[in-house]
Structure 1
Amino acid sequence: MTISVEPVHKSLRYFDHLAAAGIERLFLNRPAPFSDSDPRERLAYALGATLYVPGTRPDLAATIARRCSDGVRSMVIDLEDAVADDELEAGLAQTVSALDALAGTSAGGMLLFVRTRTARDIGRLIDQLGPGVDALTGFVVPKFTADSEPSLAAVVDASSRVGKHLYVMPVLESPELVHGQTRDIQLRAIAELLNRYRTHVLAARIGATDMCGVYGIRRDRDLTIYDVAVIADAISGIVNYLGRRDDSGFVITGPVWEYFADHERMFRPMLRTTPFAEHDAVRFRQQLVSRDLDGLLREIALDRANGIHGKTVIHPSHVSPVNALSAVTHEEYLDALDITEAKTGGVRASTYGNKMNEAKPHRNWAEQVLIRASVFGVTNPGITFVDLLTELVTPS
């Protein structure tokens, strides 16, 4: 069926679940609202922590609404790995029901995606959707390769049928991308394919769990994905082909962190004690370490260092750390302004007087920071990651 849907300009913003006093204390510039009608690049940065939820949950709509009230701003309803083969039809029906129920609500303003198994499933879901089209942002395509064009075409067709611009997020996780012999061939073809559908491609996602499975690897919670050499090599290739800051590049989001419970540690925790001691938050640091969030925080920092923004998450406790570390610090913000306001190039000391800012080579970085600042806000002078984490992460 074809549904005619008038554009509805819904908007949410990050951290608006906090008390007004907390927002005022933390932020110089409060995060600005966003909606799925925003420019594509800004919307890609607004993904932040993207939480997955199985499509077979009987309380699916209520779960999404509850997560929205807790500060989650992007979610994926999973009809692939999280759903058994004999439950797919029930999951599809449950997904349609949940999206229809969320339409017109605050949670319907989130960035909501459905991860389907096949291109045909995209059309089947659209066939069954009613008002839920308004709540749907797009689709996630797993196991994406150079042969996945039918899924891209299905999303374009779905957009035309419902009268709304829908996005697609390919998940890069197939053996062809991990194997060194075929990686360049695949990535070159994938880059060309995605470029043809550029206006509908929101971001490229990295599926490191499936990549590890190719070699029978499961990384330990004391290590980041960048310590697994063969996977780090694949991530490097993906960023090289798809992360370029020109008309050929896309926003790339980071892989999932699998751990969220206490365990006996072999190695030293990854969080320094001093920053927490200075903020009288040593006990809070211990709670982060006991929940394996120190490893997550380390991996988020390495994601950013490698040109990756946002992250797939599978547990609600991971959402706040990812989003907290997406906020732009006052120092970063002033550096970005110094660089983008320079019209003739050159080098000058930063406003904070602790580094050199080069207008030309740092410009791409600065432009990304300012987009991120518009979505996640700019912290007040003196506010550190510890302040953000203690405000946003509720220890259990």
Structure 2
Amino acid sequence: MEFTVDSPARTLAAALGATLYSPATRPRLAADVLKQAGRGVMSMVLCLEDSIGDGDVAAGEENLVRQLGLLDEAAEAGENLPLLFIRVREPRQIPDLVRRLGRAVRRLSGFVLPKFTEGRGMPFLEELAAAESACGRRLFAMPVLESPQLLHLESRAAALQGIARAVGAHRDRVLALRLGVTDFCSAYGLRRAPDMTAYDVQIVASVIADVVNVLGRADGTGFTVSGPVWEYFRLHERMFKPQLRRSPFVGEAEELRNALIEHDMDGLLREIELDRANGLTGKTCIHPSHVAPVHALSVVSHEEFSDATDILRPEQDDGGVLRSAYTNKMNEVKPHRAWAERTLLRAEVFGVAREGVGFVELLTASLPPA
């Protein structure tokens, strides 16, 4: 389906896909954004926080205002833009940037709020609400959960409850919650290798599980929680064997398998699948090469679509158990309903693969030309 910055929040949260980060100091930022939009990027974060030096913040703000003005002109001329967010450092930057952007603020979807806790996050949300009123446009928040209070066992439960209160008070304004796994690892001096996923680092996996437990529930109280960043995009020496089975890659696709392994993409593909299995939607990305795999694996398979539509048929409202049309599983209507609803929302945005088409074909078709 088509969507714009003014689409319903439910649609936009599912449509974020691979959210690509870029430093706000890039001199050709507007051109970069247009280039990535042409390659299928659906959302970007223009960063004034960790990706730039402390002494570059003022120059980054000036560049950001100038480049968003250029993007406003490009959109006026018919260019498509991704959803654009600014990652700020301090609450006061939000109203200041909105004021300085002028008309160009209409191209902005919102702000990314770093190191979010209840105490630190509420001033950001209050400034965002005020800026929204001042400019007359809807502006979303995407808090980043990355503070040590979330990682440390003795403070985790209280920190999660505080975050739940803060985002709950601004529910209509919070588009998604983002996980800052790099900061989690930093608190213990850790860094996962390219042949390991975030879920192999048990202290990180436990935080992800607790965040989803408290903030990602499917009972109407939860929020979209995005997958953590994948840091690697070039060849590294391997200690473990590749994580991609050979069987899906037959014939000419074997070359694709070798290329994915060579660029450490096999770990990324596995992590994307584990993200979804653990209740996460979309992914933070720091390199354009990560976008196609995230989007290819976001497409709903024909089997998933078949199961979801069967579960949600009106005649099944009373519950019961159905045999899958693929005759390989049971579909229990009431327990699987929330999964089916989430699957059909993803299908609206990313589409449904034809029967017999798997992620290998989708990934091959979505990769940019060499």
**TM superposition score category, shorter chain reference:** over 0.9
2:360 corresponds to 1:386: yes
Residue in 2 that maps onto 1:269: 242
Aligned residues: 364
Give the aligned residue type for 2:301: T
2:278 corresponds to 1:306: yes
Q: Aligned match of 1:251 in 216, 219, 224?
A: 224
Q: Is the 8 A contact 1:100 1:129 kept in 2?
A: yes
Q: Is the 8 A contact 2:196 2:267 kept in 1?
A: yes
Q: Aligned match of 2:342 in 368, 374, 384?
A: 368
Q: Distance in 2 between matches of 1:70 and 1:241?
A: 35
Q: Distance in 1 between matches of 2:80 and 2:175?
A: 18
Q: Aligned match of 1:89 in 36, 58, 66?
A: 58
Residue in 2 that maps onto 1:181: 154
Larger RCO (CA within 8 A; separation ≥ 6): 1
| Structure 1 residue 127, shift from structure 2 partner | 1.6
State the secondary structure of the residue aligned to 2:118: coil
Q: Distance in 1 between matches of 2:118 and 2:54?
A: 25
Give the aligned residue type for 1:272: R
Equivalent residues in 2 for 1:182-201 (5 A)?
182-201=155-174
Deviations 1:337-374 (A, max 9, x none): 00111221000101111110011000000000010000
Equivalent residues in 2 for 1:311-350 (5 A)?
311-341=283-313, 342-350=316-324
State the secondary structure of the residue aligned to 1:252: coil
Q: Aligned match of 1:204 in 177, 180, 195?
A: 177
Q: Is the 8 A contact 1:328 1:372 kept in 2?
A: yes
| Structure 1 residue 190, shift from structure 2 partner | 0.6
Q: Where in structure 1 are there 5+ consecutive unaligned residues?
A: 1-31
Q: Distance in 2 between matches of 1:93 and 1:82?
A: 16
Give the aligned residue type for 1:366: A
State the secondary structure of the residue aligned to 1:77: strand
Equivalent residues in 2 for 1:65-214 (5 A)?
65-103=34-72, 105=75, 109-147=81-119, 148-214=121-187
Q: Distance in 1 between matches of 2:72 and 2:308?
A: 38
| Structure 1 residue 395, shift from structure 2 partner | 7.0
TM-score in terms of structure 1 length: 0.90
Q: Distance in 1 between matches of 2:109 and 2:228?
A: 20
State the secondary structure of the residue aligned to 1:37: coil
Residue in 1 that maps onto 2:9: 40
Q: Distance in 2 between matches of 1:160 and 1:247?
A: 26
Q: Distance in 2 between matches of 1:281 and 1:267?
A: 22
| Structure 1 residue 81, shift from structure 2 partner | 0.4
Q: Distance in 2 between matches of 1:183 and 1:269?
A: 35
Q: Is the 8 A contact 2:37 2:81 kept in 1?
A: no
| Structure 1 residue 86, shift from structure 2 partner | 1.0
Equivalent residues in 2 for 1:220-239 (5 A)?
220-239=193-212
State the secondary structure of the residue aligned to 1:119: coil
Q: Is the 8 A contact 1:108 1:134 kept in 2?
A: no
Give the aligned residue type for 2:181: A
State the secondary structure of the residue aligned to 1:255: strand
Give the aligned residue type for 2:298: S
Residue in 2 that maps onto 1:64: 33
Cα separation, partners in 2 of 1:184 and 1:110, compared to 1, 3 Å: same
RMSD value, Cα: 1.1
TM-score in terms of structure 2 length: 0.96
Q: Distance in 2 between matches of 1:165 and 1:286?
A: 45
Residue in 2 that maps onto 1:359: 333
Q: Distance in 1 between matches of 2:65 and 2:329?
A: 52
Percent of matched pairs sharing the same residue: 51
| Structure 1 residue 392, shift from structure 2 partner | 1.0
Q: Is the 8 A contact 2:39 2:368 kept in 1?
A: no
Q: Is the 8 A contact 1:41 1:251 kept in 2?
A: no
Q: Where in structure 2 are there 5+ consecutive unaligned residues?
A: none
Give the aligned residue type for 2:35: R
Residue in 2 that maps onto 1:53: 22
Cα separation, partners in 2 of 1:171 and 1:107, compared to 1, 3 Å: farther
Q: Distance in 2 between matches of 1:247 and 1:380?
A: 31
Deviations 1:26-61 (A, max 9, x none): xxxxxx101122221211010000000000000011
